[in-house]
Amino acid sequence: MTKIISILFIFLLFGCQAMMPKENSESNSNAGGYYLDDGPHKETPEDLDKIPNAVPKKETLNSWASRPYLAFDQKYIPMTELKPHNETGYASWYGKKYHGNKTSIGEVYNMYEMTGAHKTLPLPCYVKVTNLINQKSVVIRVNDRGPFVKNRIIDLSYAAAHRLEIIEKGSELVKVEVIDPSSTSIQELNQEEKFYIQIGAFSDQGNAIKLLGKISEINLDKMTNKITKKAILYSVMIGPYATKSSADVMSKLLSDELKVKTFVILEE
């Protein structure tokens, strides 16, 4: 009887991932990075890209999920209040094995909603997760504990991982930012970093227009060509690009083609 109660306690505390295998049960990187007995369903919704971000709102923190706990011989002390918190590390995702199971706060895990799991953040809370490789970001509601695997800071639902384009790879380097619903607007959450290529800066707007005409003759895959004015200079800009690396590649090509100096800048 005592053993049964202990198992029940572990399940309630850890939620979906209570019976997660230890790290040596994880599949190898060539298999996509998720557990051998987990993964996506054979058929997934066709409108995954249309699943909206979670909408932050004030919620009462779950006192049960705020208690210190042990998982695989490691002690964790959860945060007991919502406060600023940023961290960078690797995100993974969990799918059909846990779909329909209870989370750490007693909710049903739905792999097609924007949710996630974290070892110590207060539950529930909202975070912005940004893929640092392609700069795509999502807003999710954290309502579960995990991942209990080395070198992972957050587990994402299938829907969130799809939006961040990490399904196939299984894990990716991300930035996690806790959201304060009382001070963060939806517009701020939807802001993403955008990289532009600057080609020339002129005091004469006519020269900027001439250069813009030359650039328009080059096929730039639906990129926007524009002239911006800052102080007394008119700059010719091309973009946006989601990552600096992609902007750098095009910047070099344009520099070679037009025989001018180009610069990659970040416009928030």
Task: Please state, rounded to an integer, the average pLDDT across all residues of the chain.
Answer: 80
155 and 42, same structural domain?
A: yes
Work out the pLDDT band at 1, boundaries 50, 70, 90: very low
- pLDDT value of residue 125: 97
> pLDDT tens across 203-214, in order?
888 888 888 777
Helix (H, G, I), strand (E, B) or coil at 65: helix
Any domain includes 4: no
47 and 130, same structural domain?
A: yes
- pLDDT value of residue 2: 41
CATH number of the domain residue 65 falls in: 2.40.40.10
> pLDDT tens across 91-111, in order?
999 988 888 899 999 999 999
At 257, the amino acid letter reads: E
- pLDDT value of residue 254: 83
Q: How far apart are the first and last CA of the chain?
A: 58
Any domain includes 6: no
Cβ(210)–Cβ(127) under 8 Å?
Answer: no
152 and 72, same structural domain?
A: yes
The residue among 163, 187, 211 that closes a domain is 187
Angle formed by the axes of helices 205-216 and 244-258, nearest 10°: 100
Cβ(209)–Cβ(227) under 8 Å?
Answer: yes
> pLDDT tens across 159-200, in order?
999 999 999 889 999 999 999 998 866 656 666 667 888 888
| Range from 43-52, 208-217, 219-228 carrying the lowest mean pLDDT | 219-228
Helix (H, G, I), strand (E, B) or coil at 139: strand
Helix (H, G, I), strand (E, B) or coil at 164: coil
Overall number of domains in the chain: 2
- pLDDT of 23 above 50: no
CA distances from 1 to 6, 8, 11 (A): 9, 11, 16
- pLDDT value of residue 8: 41
Work out the pLDDT band at 77, boundaries 50, 70, 90: very high
- pLDDT value of residue 31: 33
Half-sphere exposure of 41 (CA within 13 A, CB side): 14
CA distances from 88 to 141, 175, 179, 226, 255 (A): 18, 4, 15, 34, 34
- Number of Cβ within 10 Å of residue 50's Cβ equals 7
Contacts of residue 187, defined as CB under 8 A and 6 or more positions apart, other chains included, come to none
What average pLDDT does the segment 10-37 reach? Answer: 43
Q: How far is CA 173 from the centre of its chain?
A: 9
The residue among 161, 187, 213 that closes a domain is 187
Which residue range forms the structural domain that includes residue 249?
Answer: 194-267
- pLDDT of 28 above 90: no
pTM of the model: 0.63
- pLDDT of 245 above 90: no
205 and 177, same structural domain?
A: no
The residue among 142, 162, 187 that closes a domain is 187
Q: Which residue has the tokens 């930012």?
A: 177
Bigger pLDDT: 44 vs 69: 69
Longest dimension (CA), the chain: 85
180 and 230, same structural domain?
A: no
- pLDDT value of residue 24: 33
Q: Which of 153, 223, 167, 146 is nearest to 49 (CA)?
A: 167
Any domain includes 149: yes
> pLDDT tens across 101-149, in order?
999 999 999 999 999 999 999 999 999 999 988 888 999 999 999 999 8
pLDDT above 70: percentage of residues in the chain: 76
What residues does 177 pair with on adjacent strands?
Answer: 86, 128
